[in-house]
Chain A
Amino acid sequence: MNETLAFILEWVIKGAVLIAILLTGFAYTTYFERRFLARIQIRVGPNRAGPFGLLQPVADGIKLIFKEEVEPAEAYRFAFLLAPVMTMVPAVVIMAVIPWGDKVVMFGREIALAVTDLNVGVLYLLSIASISVYGIVLAGWSSNNKYAMMGGIRSTAQMISYELALGLSFVPPILLAGSLSMSEIIQGQQSSAWYIVYAPLAAIVCFIALLAEVNRAPFDMVEAEQELVAGYVTEYSGMKFALFFMGEYIKMAAVSAIFATMFLGGFDGPGVDTYAWLGPIYLFLKIFGLLGLMIWIRATLPRLRYDRLMAFGWKVLIPIALLNVFITAALIVGLGI
């Protein structure tokens, strides 16, 4: 009985810690993006609130909380309220299967640094990741705004074009590790090499598809400012808008963590075997680097046209990903990796 209680308590604490980190971390993702983007664009970026502008996210949050919530008169209220939630929740829960480190001993218990180690972790990732697109579609449709609706329609068109390639690009790591569990995929990389070495093509396809997944430039057609004003969030204000924003940035961090886990060894790094606490630090550094890459791409590239993304997804990404699956399978059989 006591053991069960401790088990539940452990889960709750780990879950609460993760959510707390994500909800505060997202704010600093926006800060990081604004500062880094500003450096690239010969600007300064936010530097007024607090030292180095570090309190800027707090100020933004307070502003958004006190903003008036405007709802369009002819919006479908239920879906209008549901949409931000449907974008936000998947972004948070997707992190549950990502291990942040090996087992550590705390309070006399051996605790795994992951909320849960699902044996079908990769499937969980794929299924949760595609839920959030419903939030965008619902937001676009329920706002009763033409620009918002076009954003919503674009997001469906976008999803069907990258989701397949994303799924296929996860296959090589799964084949190499022989498991769908995230922790076993990491163990597989610890014992051999990071899977980006074995499956570089899959890593590239995966990164591109993940960019499309989080609607980041150059795949940000859903909220294309110059075309659709603000896309699906056009009619949202205040905290409802902030929820979309939070969902987007948390998901950015989440997909970086996914990519790091699948191809960059997750929490793996020198010395992590002896000092298990280095795990979360390595994972954080990898996420940080990938976020930087995303911001860099946003600063450099123009936006694709949405029909071009579909053509790119179907005609380029999927064949490459499929081919890569065969190559990896052949290598595994042939060389016995």
Chain B
Amino acid sequence: MAQLESIKVTTDEIKHLISNRAVEGETMLLNMGPQHPATHGVLRMLVELDGETVINCIPDIGFLHTGIEKNMEAKTYMKAEVMTDRLDYLNTVGNNLAYVLAVEKLVELDVPERAQVIRVIMTELQRIASHLVWMGTAAMDLAAMTVFLYSFREREDILNILEMVSGQRMMTTYFRPGGVWRDVPEEFEKAVRDFIDIMPARLDEYESLLTENPIFIDRTKGIGVIPKNKALGWGLTGPIARGSGIDYDIRKAHPYTGYENYDFDVPVQKAGDVYARYQVRVEEMRQSLRIIDQALKAFPKGPFRSNNRKFVPPPRAELGTSMEAVIHHFKLWTEGFDAPKGSVYFPVESPRGELGIFLEGDGGPKPYRVHWRTPSFSNLQVLSWLAKGHYVADLIAIIGSIDFVLGDTDR
């Protein structure tokens, strides 16, 4: 008990964060989280309330800090990739993509056509899966619980495809520098085709529960409005920025891994409220389906990873016949490959916004410095002013609409 007393935080110590009225005891200070049903992980918020009106909201992050950046610096380029899955656990494939693209840029490695198409299909599937989790949880925050279970049904289909391809449902580590780990199995194309055939009807089903539901509109329209200039000023990216009228999508603005070959629209809404962000994400799912459809139609045959033996391990079959293959294999799995001196930054469009990785090589087999620019971290910054003046129930809706992942925020 005495110990508890000693770590008690008095209002005096945090008075620079809260209003004078809280210090005087007129308003209530409420600890939301880190264990709270609606904080989507372990976000803690210190909320100052006047009745049910939020006066101040102070997000407190760091409960899921895993030291991924530093951990990656202690591993070879090949092994460090496994860490990236753990970053944004709803967008594992996308994290892999950012990392392998950065490594490929650093060591100047070419990727075969087929691998690029596989990467696009997998990334877009993951984007849909991530948006489905967002849709389910954001609707659940407003107590529309059925949407959650419906959207997880389709997410299950996507996870099954991920498992079919990589052997893992979430932590796939499927993309490797120079291509992908192995070729997709035969039944892959049919599974994806089945999924994109059924998905539009399912999206209509979710929309029938939410889009025109008067209670849902009442809870989301005009709530948490982010004006365009503020969105720009706070460096928002992704659906949250596109909901505020910023037409910026890295897949269009700075195409990578062949996105320039696909025909798709970037949905933009002007209102900037929770409902606008909802509309943007729903439309993005439809656009992702379009991309996957085009990718499936133009699914080229050929090698699924680069033949550059200095960076890409040889096929298993060669190990029995070729001495050179054994040497390459041994070198890659013990030392890894050396990357030249220099630094790269590679941004990709994750379901949450601009996911960028900064890699600095020092000529050795391990990165000298890794830094992630994660969308959840940047987008979460708006919460403290966005919540002001809203009710507690709206605060929950706003948190849901920002769609952050704490693993991505804390790193």
Contacts and interface: CB of A to CB of B under 8 A. Distances in A.
Interface string A285-310: 00000000000001111111111100
Contact of A227 (B38, B51, B213, B216): B38
A226 B38 contact: yes
A49 interface: no
B209 A300 contact: yes
A146 B51 CA distance: 11
A226 B140 contact: yes
Nearest to A308: B218
B331 to A, nearest CB: 51
A308 B218 CA distance: 9
Contacts of A77: none
B36 interface: yes
Contacts of A226: 37-38, 140-143, 396
Interface string A211-228: 000000110110011111
A224 B32 CA distance: 14
Contact of B391 (A229, A300, A305): A305
B28 interface: yes
A307 B52 CA distance: 10
A102 to B, nearest CB: 41
Interface of B: 28, 30, 36-38, 51-52, 139-146, 149-150, 153, 209-210, 213, 215-216, 218-219, 391-394, 396
Given A146-B30, A229-B37, A302-B143, 9 more contacts: A43-B149, A220-B143, A221-B393, A224-B143, A225-B143, A298-B145, A301-B215, A305-B393, A308-B218
A146 B153 CA distance: 36
Contacts of A227: 38, 392-393, 396
Nearest to B395: A227
A193 B36 CA distance: 51
21 contacts: A40-B146, A41-B145, A41-B149, A146-B28, A146-B30, A150-B392, A154-B52, A220-B143, A225-B143, A226-B38, A226-B140, A228-B392, A298-B145, A300-B209, A301-B143, A303-B393, A304-B219, A305-B219, A305-B394, A306-B391, A307-B391
Contacts of B215: 218, 301-304
Of residues A150, A153, A226, A300, which shows the largest number of chain B Cβ atoms within 10 Å of its Cβ? A226
A148 B353 CA distance: 37
Of residues A146, A227, A304, A307, which shows the largest number of chain B Cβ atoms within 10 Å of its Cβ? A227
A221 to B, nearest CB: 8
A153 B30 CA distance: 15
Contacts of A301: 143-144, 213, 215
B52 A302 contact: no
Nearest to A149: B28
A299 B149 CA distance: 11
Nearest to B399: A226
A302 B146 contact: no
A38 to B, nearest CB: 9
B392 A42 contact: no
A199 to B, nearest CB: 24
A23 to B, nearest CB: 28
B36 A229 contact: yes
Given A41-B149, A227-B38, A308-B218, A302 B393 contact: no
Contacts of A307: 52, 391
B45 to A, nearest CB: 12
A305 B392 CA distance: 9
B171 to A, nearest CB: 26
Contacts, number: 77
Interface of A: 40-43, 146-147, 150, 153-154, 217-218, 220-221, 224-229, 298-308
Closest 5 CB pairs of A and B: A303-B143, A302-B142, A226-B38, A302-B144, A41-B149
Contacts of B139: 302
A276 to B, nearest CB: 41
Contact of B52 (A41, A217, A225, A306): A306
A305 B218 contact: yes
A220 B142 CA distance: 11
Nearest to B390: A305
A53 to B, nearest CB: 18
Contacts of A146: 28, 30
Contacts of B153: 42
A305 to B, nearest CB: 5
Contact of B146 (A150, A229, A299): A299
Of residues B37, B51, B209, B393, which shows the largest number of chain A Cβ atoms within 10 Å of its Cβ? B393
Of residues B37, B140, B213, B394, which shows the largest number of chain A Cβ atoms within 10 Å of its Cβ? B37
A42 B396 contact: no
Nearest to A299: B146
Nearest to B137: A226
A156 to B, nearest CB: 12
A106 B145 CA distance: 48
A304 B391 contact: no
A226 B37 CA distance: 5
Contacts of A298: 145
A288 to B, nearest CB: 21
A229 B393 CA distance: 12
Nearest to A301: B215
Nearest to A154: B52
A315 B28 CA distance: 30
Contacts of A150: 52, 392
Nearest to B141: A226
A249 to B, nearest CB: 18
A303 to B, nearest CB: 4
A308 B394 CA distance: 12
A73 to B, nearest CB: 10
Contacts of A305: 218-219, 391, 393-394
A302 B37 contact: no
Contact of A225 (B37, B144, B216, B219): B37
Contact of B219 (A147, A153, A299, A302): A302
Given A42-B150, A227-B393, A303 B218 contact: no
Contacts of A42: 149-150, 153
A301 B145 CA distance: 8
B207 to A, nearest CB: 14
Contacts of B150: 41-42
Contacts of B396: 226-227
Contacts of B37: 225-226, 229
B274 to A, nearest CB: 12
A304 B392 CA distance: 12
